[in-house]
Amino acid sequence: MSTVRQSAPGTTRTCPHCRTTILDSATICPACKKYLRFDPGAVARAVPSLVPLKVEGTFRHPGPEAWEYSVVVSIKNDKGEEVARQVVGVGALQPSEGRTFTLAVEMFDPSGAKGIPRK
């Protein structure tokens, strides 16, 4: 028998597989995509209810020498105060090498109702 986690919205825990901080309500880790517990409705709740932001960009290094890069994600609250900042990746581009980066904000309805109101 499966039990669904009941916790306050925004409560976090650590994924036992990849050690990423995830939402307590998650049934599938958004980082490693592994199942966290058996739950018949897990797949339905693992699909985002809403993706209000998705940005993808590709660039190619034009220079004759390698360049380094850092991918930084910053989250600010309504007052403009930074509440989180994290380097999610670093690397180097060799001449004429390219990279594609995608940033997505996925929102989930932990009840599985998918009833997020729109303005």
Q: Say what the pTM is.
A: 0.64
In a domain, 117, yes or no: no
In a domain, 115, yes or no: no
In a domain, 19, yes or no: yes
In a domain, 12, yes or no: yes
- 35 and 54, same domain (yes or no): no
Mean pLDDT of 73-81: 96
Cα 38 from Cα 27, distance rounded (Å):
8
Lowest mean pLDDT among 44-58, 80-94, 96-110: 44-58
- 69 and 103, same domain (yes or no): yes
Q: Could you tell me which residues come within 8 angstroms of residue 115 by beta carbon, excluding any fewer than 6 positions away?
A: 109
Average pLDDT over all residues of the chain: 82
Number of domains making up the chain? 2
